[in-house]
Amino acid sequence: MNAPGQIDAALARLRAGEVVAFPTETVYGLGADALRARAVERVFALKGRPSNNPLIVHVADIAGARRVVADWPTDAQMLAQRFWPGPLTLVLKRAPSVPTIVTGGGDTVAVRCPDHPMALDLLRAFGGPLVAPSANPSGRVSPTTAAHVSAAFNERDVLVLDGGPCRVGIESTVLSLVGEPTILRQGAVSASQIADVIGRRPRSGADASSAGALPSPGMLPSHYAPAAQTILFDAHSMPREWRDSPRHVTLLALTSGESTSPQTRGPRQRIQMPSVPDAYAARLYAALREADRGDESVILVERPSAAGELWDAIRDRLARAAAPRA
C-alpha cells in the first residue's frame, strides 16, 4: 500500500477505537485515540502494561499540546519552539479532557510532537491527540522498524504503518515541568540543551527520587530487556567465563581486535557497533534483537566509555537491558 493508502487505513482503525503502530524519529509507537478511554485500554492490554504506568500523548503541534494540558508555562513554550517536532516529552498538569487511564491515575500528562513525516501526517489527519507508548510488549526492547512491531503483534489487533528505520533509535527525553524542571528519562535532547533554553540546568530523576518525588514508573531498573542474559563489560575485559561457553553468545563490540573476539565453544556471533553515539543509538535496539536467541542465549555488550550526554543516555539503556529481572 502507498503512504496515503496506509494513512487512510490507519485513520479508519483509529476512528473505530482500534490500535495503529506508527513510526516516530525515536522508536515505533502503539497509537490510539488519547481521548477515548476504551481505545487506550486496548493499548494497555496489548502491551501487558501495568495500569499505573502513564502513556505519552502525541500531538501535531503546540496548539495540540495546549489542548491536553491545564497550563502551558513559558518554559514549555520555549522548549517546544526549540525542540518540536523532536525527541523531547514534557510532563505538565493534565487537562480534564484527558482520561485518567492515560495518566496512570495521576494529575500530570506527558506530551510530545514526534519528528517523523508519517507520524505528523497521521496526527494532522486524525485531528486529535494519540497515545503512543513504544510498540513492544511491556518491559521488552523498543522497536525501531515496522518488522520489529509486526513480530510482536497480530495484524488483526495492530495495523502497522511502515516509515522505515527510526533515525534516533532510543526513546525521547522525558522532562517534568511540574515543580523544578526534572529529567525523568534521558534521551537525545540533553540536559545542557535544555539548560540553554530555560536558563537553568534541569535536575536528574535520581536527585528527584532522593528528594522524595515519585520517579517515572517507566524508569524501573529492568526495562528494555532482551530475553537473553545481557552482560556489560569494559573494553578489553570480556568476562572469561563466556569465552568457553556452550551457549549461544553474541558480542556487541565497540573496539576491534583479539580481546573482543568471542572464542566460545558454542555458536557465536559478533556485531560491530558504530563508534559515534548517534549511529550507536540508531543501531542499538536492532542489534539487541539480532543478538537475542532466547533466554538460554547470552549477549555480551562492550560498554562505551566515551564522555557525552548521548552516550550517557545509551549507557542508561544498556544498564537497563542488563539489569536483573524484577
Report which residue's Cβ sits closest to Mg ion: 134
Residues from 108 through 137 that contact Mg ion (CB under 5 A): 134
Q: Which of 25/302 has CB closer to ligand TXA?
A: 25
Smallest gap from residue 223 Cβ to ligand TXA (A)? 8
Pick between residue 134 and residue 250 the one whose CB is nearest to Mg ion: 134
* DSSP annotation of 241: G
d(CA 70, CA 108): 9
Minimum distance, C-beta of residue 72 to ligand TXA, in the bound complex (Å) = 15
Residue partners of 300: CB distance under 8 A and separation at least 6:
231, 233, 238, 239, 242, 249, 250, 251, 252, 262
Instruction: Name the residues that contact ligand TXA, by CB under 6 A.
Output: 24, 26-27, 29, 53-56, 87, 89, 91, 103, 106, 108-110, 114, 132-134, 171-172, 174, 184-185, 216-219
230 binds, options Mg ion, ligand TXA, none, Cβ within 5 to 8 A by partner type:
none
Q: Which residues contact 16 (CB under 8 A, 6 or more apart)?
A: none
CB of 208 to Mg ion, least distance (A): 20
Nearer to Mg ion, 138 or 261 (CB): 138
How many residues bind to Mg ion according to rule CB under 5 A?
1
Interacting residues with Mg ion between 132 and 161 (CB under 5 A): 134
DSSP secondary-structure letter at 131? E
Q: How far apart are CA 113 and CA 115, in angstroms?
A: 7
CB 174 within 8 A of CB 186: no
CB closer to Mg ion out of 53 and 204: 53
Q: How far is the CB of 133 from Mg ion (least distance, A)?
A: 5
Peptide bond into 85 cis (omega under 30): yes
CB 50 within 8 A of CB 66: no
Of 133 and 226, CB closest to ligand TXA: 133
Bridge partners of 21? 30, 160
Element (H, E) at 43: helix 37-47
When CB distances are held under 5 to 8 angstroms depending on the partner's kind, the choice from ligand TXA, Mg ion, none that residue 40 binds is none
Decide whether 166 or 299 has the Cβ nearer to ligand TXA.
Answer: 166
Residue nearest to ligand TXA (CB): 218
Indicate the pairing of strand 88-93 with strand 173-176. parallel
Name which of 170 and 287 has its Cβ closer to ligand TXA. 170
- Least CB distance to ligand TXA at residue 93 (A): 10
Q: Residues 92-97: contacts with CB within 8 Å, 24+ apart?
A: 92/177, 92/178, 93/69, 93/178, 94/68, 94/69, 94/70, 95/67, 95/68, 95/69, 95/70, 96/70, 97/35, 97/67, 97/68
Q: Among ligand TXA, Mg ion, none, what does residue 225 contact (CB within 5–8 Å per kind)?
A: none
Residues that bind Mg ion (CB under 5 A): 134
